[in-house]
Amino acid sequence: MFSARRLSGGRRAIRLHHLRHHSVSRSSPNLAFVPACLPPDPAEVEELQHFVSSSKKLFVMTGAGISTESGIPDYRSEGVGLYARTDRRPIQHAEFVRSASARQRYWARNFVGWPQFSSHQPNTAHLVLRDWEKLGKLHWLVTQNVDALHTKAGSRRVTELHGCTHRVFCLGCGDQTLRSELQEHFEALNPAWKAEALGVAPDGDVFLTDEQVRNFQVPACSKCGGILKPDVTFFGDTVSREKVDFVHQRLAESDSMLVAGSSMQVYSGYRFALAAQEKQLPIAILNIGPTRLDHFASLKLNLRCGELLPLIVAH
């Protein structure tokens, strides 16, 4: 084992081939939503290099911390996450399903935030993981994010554990469409509606007042008239058994686990770390701040993903 460092179902799938951009430039990171941390020292680089070099089939799980360097805020980061900046909380699955006003509020906020959210691009960390996949080092990647940035980076051996905001489906008939197409329907239904965002939130939301969303019109499913929902797992919902089983199979084929940019507070992802521990796989964590795995990880590095991962050579 490596020495630890303790530092502070069934519906048709829509492939998002149009999101793949294999030549994404390695531009400067956007650090507005990234907690402060020290730069990596040579010993830390060497430790992660040894971990990655020792792995033949690496299982990687990413969280919101890998996308903050692309300008997307997360929920839990100290000082800069949504929970630290505001008292707002994400919508619950049950509330979305039962309340037309909750859906109106959600979609109005999402409509305003979508142009910016959908334009975010992969950062260096996403591109490094794509390259590791091409080299045969990365066996499978599971992301808890819904931003499609791994897909945009060109990763193919990837499971979106909580779905993807770039897809929308009907709760009634299961018909699935692209979120970009729904944006056009919103514009057609609300030609005179305008709202200025009062702040940005994770997952494509912005902050709007109740008065701003009052007259916003939400389309129904064009096939059956049912409720349209983003193809994501809201808080209070569960990941499908089929997807969970698939990820467990990929983990069983792997020989080590790297967690990048996640505190692993949500059980839907944490369960796979527990499975890796049970299989006695070495686990490395790259995350700014404490995680749920710190007490049993082989290696913990309190660093930025986009700063450390490019320094690692995947043989």
CA proximity to 308, closest of 255, 251, 258: 258
For residue 295, count other CB atoms closer than 10 A to its CB: 10
Q: Known binder of ligand: residue 288?
A: yes
Q: Known binder of ligand: residue 305?
A: yes
Q: Known binder of ligand: residue 187?
A: no
Which residue type is seen at 267?
Y
> 150, 162, 166, 185: which is the annotated catalytic residue?
162
3-state secondary structure 253-303: CCCEEEEECCCCCCHHHHHHHHHHHHCCCCEEEECCCCCCCCCCCCEEECC
Residue 162 annotated among the catalytic residues of the structure: yes
Query: Can you list the alpha helix ranges (DSSP code H) found in 86-156?
Result: 93-98, 100-119, 124-134, 149-153
Interacting residues of 269 by C-beta distance below 8 A, sequence separation 6+:
61, 63, 142, 144, 161, 262
Q: Known binder of ligand: residue 37?
A: no
Q: Known binder of ligand: residue 69?
A: yes
Q: Known binder of ligand: residue 289?
A: yes
Q: Known binder of ligand: residue 73?
A: yes
Q: Known binder of ligand: residue 80?
A: yes
Q: Known binder of ligand: residue 224?
A: yes
Tokens 């979609």, residue?
A: 107
Q: Known binder of ligand: residue 76?
A: yes
Sequence ranges of the binding site for NAD(+):
63-83, 144-147, 261-263, 287-289, 305
The catalytic residues are 162
Sequence ranges of the binding site for Zn(2+):
170, 173, 221, 224
Sequence ranges of the binding site:
63-83, 144-147, 170, 173, 221, 224, 261-263, 287-289, 305
